Amino acid sequence: MQIILGSQSPRRRELMAGLDLPFTAITIDADETYPAELQAGDIPYYISRVKARAYESQLTDDQLLITADTIVWLEGRMLGKPHNEAEALAMLKQLRNKTHQVYTAVTLAQKGREPETFVDCTDVTFGDLTDEEIAHYVHTYRPLDKAGAYGVQEWIGYVACIGMKGSYFNVMGFPVHLVYQALKKRGF
């Protein structure tokens, strides 16, 4: 059996590599729009399944596909990937001094089998950040590819993340312990 990780995120590839199981990483292009009525964890649930469906038909009998999607959820609203530096600055100003949720969904797909999806949630508390600190981070690290405009394994995670409840790896990329358990159940 061959594991295919359908994600271009270097963090997810790093987590997957840490499981000591051989895998191939690919990039899947999928439409990430979702029904407006979806809330919180239902959003990445939906998108991770869309990503799996976009590649599913190409799977052979001996392949398992893993897709994932992460969102940041702040007080009833979703923060996606910022479109530009101004949006990134604004997102981080919203996140400081508050607790938000990071939801990551993972979908496992095999040929001729209904895809399996699970969602993990981590509470992340940000302490205070000055406007200057936020500007330093955005200009130096350019977090435009990251939900909520931050990477927890980067400078801003080091200085701002004052508390967490749940899985750190879920915030970094995906809930690797759940991926491992699901792969184990399938005989990997």
Enumerate binding residues for its own copies (CB under 8 A): 15, 18-20, 127, 140, 154-155, 157-169, 176-177, 180
- Please, which residue, 27 or 158, has the CB nearer to its own copies? 158
H helices present in the chain, as ranges: 10-17, 42-56, 85-95, 131-141, 155-160, 168-172, 176-185
Confirm whether 62 is a catalytic residue. no
Compute the least distance from the CB of residue 172 to its own copies, in Å: 9
- Please, which residue, 34 or 168, has the CB nearer to its own copies? 168
Query: Contact at 8 Å (CB) between 104 and 61?
Result: no
Compute the least distance from the CB of residue 83 to its own copies, in Å: 26
Q: Which of 69, 120, 123, 131 is an active site residue?
A: 69
- Please, which residue, 59 or 66, has the CB nearer to its own copies? 66
Q: Phi then psi for 35, rounded to 5 degrees?
A: -60, 135
Q: Which amino acid is at 98?
A: K
CA 70 to CA 51: how far, in whole Å? 12
Catalytic residues: 69
